[in-house]
Structure 1
Amino acid sequence: MNIQTVLNKGKRFISDPLYRLRVMIKMGAYNSLSDEAFLKKMFPKYMGYALNLDNPQTFSEKLQWMKLYDRKPIYTNIVDKYQAKQFLADKIDSKYIIPNLGVWDNFDEIDFDTLPNQFVLKCTHDSGGIVICKDKSAFDKESARRIINRSLKRDYYLIAREWPYKNVPRRILAEEYIDELGSIDLLDYKMYSFHGEPKLTVVCSNRFSMGGTRMDYYDLDWNFINISILHYKPSNKHYVKPPHYDEMKMLCKQLSKDFPFLRVDFYDVNNHLYVGELTLYPGAGFIKIEPSEFDYKMGEWLRLESVHRS
């Protein structure tokens, strides 16, 4: 890291309170706090209002409540990138699942000679830290080792107290490389489901461009909803329904029917539908929704009285 980068990060640490907070969390400054104390301390810093766990009303508050009081063992399997594939295979046709190539406990166990020319490496317990190999003859194994080993050391649970990550075995997963999933024009469809009923779909665009990710929201009838979540702005484009939209809804209902809330992510590429990921707490529940009224509306969709505390 050069001096200018260090100076820029130092300036941002001083001027940007949220950046400073994230750095302090990564440094372990709040590791000693209980989950409840941590969430009560962090929530107002992200959201601008105090967390009410006794009578949560907004979607964001209710996600925090579920982190603390809805702790079913299956949730750990859902966030484990390896075990999640088995969960999917038990629920839906395997044609929707990106195939695995192998799983290992440490980097030195990987026999790269047995892997195809193109593949993807990621850690089962973490978010980010992805290594994409498009050509083994040009593959930088040492760079991949650094990325993966850094990811293996990270305790993702401590970042936002998403407790299901706490007990996920730290392993390395290899998946088939699907060229279309790295396209700059790729659209990622994230379907929000409440008590087994899809309610809205987020179209994520510009994922790999300098302009940054854009997110556009549509209701179940594919009417545009003018909201923004986190710092992601709408694209100012109108997207038509994806070719397999009805199939997405069917799969989302199947996968989410036993969950108070579940987000199911899809890729619809080259006449093929893939399930990319299952998410219990979008943005770890620290998702500032504008207008704020929609945060309350989404909160109404999530009925905590139906959730048995565990």
Structure 2
Amino acid sequence: MIRSLLSKNLVLKYKIKKFQRKSFIRKMKKKNLYELMEYDADLFEKRHGYRLDWNNLSTYSEKMQWAKIFDKDPRKVLCTDKFEVRKWVSKKIGEDYLIPLIGTWDNAKNIDFNLLPNKCVLKTNCSSGDVIIIKNKNKLTNKEIRGYKEKLNYYLEMKFGFNTCEMHYNKIKPKIIAERFIESPHDDLQDYKFLCFDGKPYFCWVDVGRYHDHKRNVYDLDWKLQNWHQFNYGTTDKPIKKPENFEKMVKLAEILASDFKHVRVDFYNVDGKIYFGEMTFTNSSGFERIEPQEADLMLGNLWNIDTNI
């Protein structure tokens, strides 16, 4: 009953969550390095079913834990920031690949919904899972608008990096951004995620139905469907057609990934028009199991980093 009430009242829901979150943030800020490592190892064990050995990290998922806590490269902060990365992308491949920006705000209270287009996307630059897709602004009630603002402000203040020890997120200066809604012939935008190591794309993960029936197909660069996957995503019933300009996306991913040992570079591709999505350095925090485990080890072998602590 309470859950049903909160789903209908976003203002109340996020006020409660904000109150609870403050206690969690205070607790996380007090942790020293070793306590943070232990906390992360506990989370890893719950997801993977075995204890993380910090002195023997070999799989992709295991090396991700090292990267989250010990990789201090400031460029990770810049390129994870969904607002500041626009400058990086514009410099590297050109602003034509950016989704048009509508506005930015430091507080959701300052958003005048009357000035927004009828279709747009709202999100923060410093978090995940906070996207608000507006397909018909004119049908929104004042209650819904207040709820959306409360949600955005919650994510502005939540210190997302503490959730799963992705510490670079906490160094991003929080901001709300609004982008143009990109029309797609599909129910949701198909998301092409390129897994890159030492500046070279190796695999493309194609996400479909992210907001209603999330599926993920994994292809190599020859567009051959792979026999490994992340355990909580099934593959599509029908094959996904290779985009005609797939090689162009590969080249763009290569340019954006050229400075990094590992990064995931995401694009949308609508009727041949390529849009940059985001750059992710700690994919799913390393907590979504890759099966079979041989594939996790194969990806780990591609990631050439020294994980000595």
What TM-score, normalized to structure 1?
0.85
C-alpha change, 1:178 and 1:44, in structure 2 (3 Å) is same
Alignment match, 2:146? 142
In the TM superposition, 1:96-135 aligns within 5 A as: 96-135=97-136
Q: CA deviation at 1:145?
A: 1.5
Contact 1:162 1:284 in 2 (8 A): yes
- CA shift, 1:230, in A, is 3.5
Q: 1:35 aligned to 2:36? A: yes
Shift of 1:234: 1.6
1:253 to partner: Cα distance = 0.5
Please tell me whether the aligned partners of residues 122 and 129 of structure 1 are also in contact (alpha carbons under 8 angstroms): yes
Corresponding residue of 1:171: 175
Per the TM alignment, residue 117 of structure 1 is displaced from its structure 2 partner at its CA by 3.1
Q: Deviations over 1:15-63 (max 9, x none)?
A: xxxxxxxxx9997397244332222222111111221222311000111
Report the Cα distance in structure 1 between the residues aligned to 2:183 and 2:222, rounded to whole angstroms: 31
Deviations 1:123-173 (A, max 9, x none): 111112222333343234223212212222322011001011011112111
Give yes or no for contact 1:26–1:159 (8 Å, CA) kept in 2: no
* Alignment match, 2:204: 201
- Equivalent residues of 1:203, 1:215 under 8 A apart: yes
The aligned counterpart of 1:14 is none
What is residue 8 of structure 2 aligned with on the other side? none
Structure 2 equivalent of residue 291 of structure 1: 292
User: Bigger shift: 75-84 or 24-33?
Assistant: 24-33
Q: Deviations over 1:63-107 (max 9, x none)?
A: 111112211111111111111111111111211111212211112
| CA distance in 1: counterparts of 2:192 and 2:229, whole angstroms | 16
Of 158, 165, 172, the match for 2:162: 158
Question: Match of 2:292, as an amino acid?
Answer: P
Change (3 A) 1:38 1:25: farther
| Counterpart residue identity of residue 92, structure 1 | I
In angstroms, what is the RMSD of aligned CA positions?
A: 2.5
Give me the whole-angstrom Cα distance separating, in 1, the residues matched to 2:3 and 2:66: 42
1:189 to 188, 192, 196: 192
What CA distance in whole angstroms lies between the structure 1 residues aligned with 2:188 and 2:175?
31
| CA displacement at 1:4 relative to structure 2 | 7.2
1:137/1:4 Cα in 2 relative to 1: closer, same or farther (>3 Å)?
A: closer
3-state SS, counterpart of residue 179 of structure 1:
coil
Judging changes above 3 Å, is the alpha-carbon distance between structure 1 residues 296 and 216 closer, same or farther for their aligned structure 2 residues? same
Identity across aligned pairs (percent)? 32
Instruction: Give the aligned length.
Output: 287
What stretches of structure 1 move > 4 A for 4+ residues in a row? 3-6, 24-27
Q: Aligned partners of 1:286, 1:4: CA distance in 2, in Å?
A: 26
Deviates more, 1:147-156 or 1:288-297: 147-156
Task: Specify whether residues 26 and 245 from structure 1 end up closer, same or farther in structure 2 by C-alpha distance, changes over 3 A only.
Answer: farther
Question: Using a 3 Å threshold, how does the CA distance of structure 1 residues 173 and 35 change in structure 2: closer, same or farther?
Answer: same
State how far apart, in whole Å, the 2-side matches of 1:139 and 1:158 are.
33
Output the TM-score relative to the length of structure 2.
0.85
Does the 8 Å contact 1:25/1:159 carry over to 2?
no
The range that moved more, 25-34 or 120-129, is 25-34
List runs of 5+ in structure 1 lacking aligned partners: 7-23
